[in-house]
Structure 1
Amino acid sequence: MLDDFEIGPHAISLLIAYLLAFPIGWNREKEERSAGLRTFPLVAVASCGFIQGAEHLMQDEPEALARLFEGIITGVGFIGGGAILQQKNAVRGTATAASLWVTGAIGVSVGVGSYDVAVMLSLFAFLTLQILSPFSRKLSPDTQKQEVED
């Protein structure tokens, strides 16, 4: 058992998952959202860790890998659901929930060695949050209502 103890490759993958999720968490923290700098890297690391921790058990069983993916998707979706709040006539937290879901996908992608997919997911999520947030604020009925009241 100890002959198979190879911490290096796993540490590198976990670090990559952490680093790819960090900008997304930084954005959510900067925007003062319910989940932020600590949550997003942990979701990515956990998703990656579930894949890598079980990879030796699933080498010849693609169905087992599919079930693991399903479990991670469901679990991360549950966490994201906790970020969604209904306030008066508005729903808040959907971008944070979707960001958590993407972060889980980043971790899974790194866990299976699809680093290119993980990088693209991280890039698209971060750019979407950075670039589209100002437009979203301008289009939000709450923002328009506040501007009229101010």
Structure 2
Amino acid sequence: MPNIDIDVSLIIHHFIHLSVAFVLALPIALNREAKQSGAGLRTFPLVCIASCAFMLVGMSVFPEPDAEARVMYGIITGMGFIGGGAVFKSEDGVSGTATAAGIWNTGAIGVSVAYSRYEIAIVLSVIGFLIFQFADPVKKKQRHDGKGK
């Protein structure tokens, strides 16, 4: 029978990181949910905490910087893949690119939190929220004024 060694302090350490990632993804997720975007309250926090978790595991299993960088590259690529599923092309043009970028942003938040770079994660969360909150009305006003599409 395998010996299961559970380090409670490590559980608490990782729980804090994952909780911070979750909280920092919420403003973007709530905005997207309120605007009935395809991705919302479930997608953005899950992407953020999964990115954080993958990076935390990578950092603990692969202490070499090159190996950690490969884990990060995998996360970045995965975010692009998930975001690609949010992009739709139609006769009217392309939609979902902002949602795809938002998914990528929340992945970056998760990685930042994993490395305890909270200042980066907070800035990404705030700026991401502000873009989603205020850019849409500006775009609509430009279209209405005849300056945009």
Instruction: Calculate the TM-score normalised by the size of structure 2.
Output: 0.89
- Aligned-pair distance for 1:139? 3.0
The CA deviation string for residues 26-67 of structure 1, in whole angstroms up to 9 with x for no partner, is 1111111110010000000000000112222222x1110110
| 1:77 matches 2:71 | no
SS at match of 1:2: coil
- Could you tell me how far apart the structure 1 residues matched to 2:46 and 2:33 are? 14
- Could you tell me how far apart the structure 2 residues matched to 1:112 and 1:123 are? 19
Identity %: 48
For structure 2, list consecutive stretches of 5 or more residues without a partner in the other structure: none
Equivalent in the alignment of 1:53? 57
Which structure has greater helix proportion? 1
Equivalent in the alignment of 1:148? none
- Aligned-pair distance for 1:4? 4.0
- Aligned-pair distance for 1:132? 1.1
For structure 1, list consecutive stretches of 5 or more residues without a partner in the other structure: 146-150
Instruction: Calculate the TM-score normalised by the size of structure 1.
Output: 0.89
The CA deviation string for residues 10-30 of structure 1, in whole angstroms up to 9 with x for no partner, is 001100000000110111111
SS at match of 2:15: helix
- Could you tell me how far apart the structure 2 residues matched to 1:65 and 1:102 are? 19
| 1:101 matches 2:85 | no
- Aligned-pair distance for 1:102? 0.3
Aligned residues: 142
- Could you tell me how far apart the structure 1 residues matched to 2:6 and 2:45 are? 30
Larger mean CA deviation between 4-13 and 113-122 belongs to: 4-13
Aligned 1:10-25 pairs, distance under 5 A: 10-25=14-29
SS at match of 1:83: coil
| 1:110 matches 2:110 | no
The CA deviation string for residues 65-90 of structure 1, in whole angstroms up to 9 with x for no partner, is 11011000000110000000012131
SS at match of 2:40: coil
